[in-house]
Chains A and B, each alone.
Chain A
Amino acid sequence: ETGVTQSPTHLIKTRGQQVTLRCSSQSGHNTVSWYQQALGQGPQFIFQYYREEENGRGNFPPRFSGLQFPNYSSELNVNALELDDSALYLCASSLTGTGNYGYTFGSGTRLTVV
C-alpha cells in the first residue's frame, strides 16, 4: 500500500503571498488532517477533512483553509503569509473511526516565509 505523499518538500515564499500545499492520502484512508510543526515544537492541529468537508479545526485563523477531493487527496491553502507561518506542515491520513489506532503521516512540506 502507498503511504502519504506531500508536495512540494520545500518552499520559500514572501510575506503576504499565498501558498498551496498538497497531500495524497494512504490507500484506503478517507480522512485527512493537517498539522503545523514549528521548529522545536510538537505538531499543532490545523483542521481535518472528511467527505470533502471540514470536520474539526484547531486554533488557526481563517486564512488557513483547505480542500479535500473525491479521491481523498487534500490541499492546504494559506493566504497573506506571515513570518510565523514558517514551519513544517504535516499531512496525516486515517480511516474515520480508527483515529484511536493512529494516523499515517507524510514527510511534510518545509515552508519558509521571508
Chain B
Amino acid sequence: GDSVTQMEGPVTLSEEAFLTINCTYTATGYPSLFWYVQYPGEGLQLLLKATKADDKGSNKGFEATYRKETTSFHLEKGSVQVSDSAVYFCALFTGTASKLTFGTGTRLQVTL
C-alpha cells in the first residue's frame, strides 16, 4: 500500500538557518505530493504541492521538488524564522485510493 516516511524530529534550528526535512514515499500509480503544516492547537494547512515528476512546489519561502527517480519530496527553506515553528507533514494522494496518506510528521523548533 501507499506510505510516506519522514525524518524524525524534533528539528531544532537557529533563526536564519537552512532547513531540510526529508520525505520519501511508496505509492502505486502516480501520486500527487504535498506538504502540510500544523501550528499548535490548529488543523492542517496546505503549504505546497506538486502533481507530477520534476514539479517544484513553493510557498512562503519553502520549496520541494517531486523526484520520481528517488521517490522523494524533501522540504527546504533557505532561512527559517521563529514563526516557522510547527509540525510539518508530508503526504501523498492517488486517485486510486482517493485519500491522503500522511507521514508521521516532523516537529520544527526555531530559536532566536
Contact = CB atoms under 8 A, between A and B. Distances in A.
Interface of A: 4, 6, 33, 35, 40-45, 48, 55-56, 58, 90, 92, 99-108
B73 interface: no
Interface residues of B, number: 25
Contacts of A92: 44, 100
B42 interface: yes
A102 B99 CA distance: 10
A44 to B, nearest CB: 8
A104 B89 CA distance: 14
Interface string B42-78: 1111100101000000000000000000000000000
Contacts, number: 65
Contacts of B51: 100-101
B65 to A, nearest CB: 17
The SS class assigned to the B binding surface is strand
B20 interface: no
A27 B27 CA distance: 31
A42 B99 contact: no
A56 B93 CA distance: 13
28 contacts: A33-B99, A40-B105, A41-B105, A42-B91, A42-B103, A42-B105, A43-B44, A43-B89, A44-B102, A48-B98, A48-B99, A56-B97, A56-B98, A56-B99, A58-B99, A90-B43, A90-B44, A99-B95, A99-B99, A100-B51, A100-B93, A102-B34, A102-B49, A103-B100, A105-B44, A105-B46, A107-B42, A108-B42
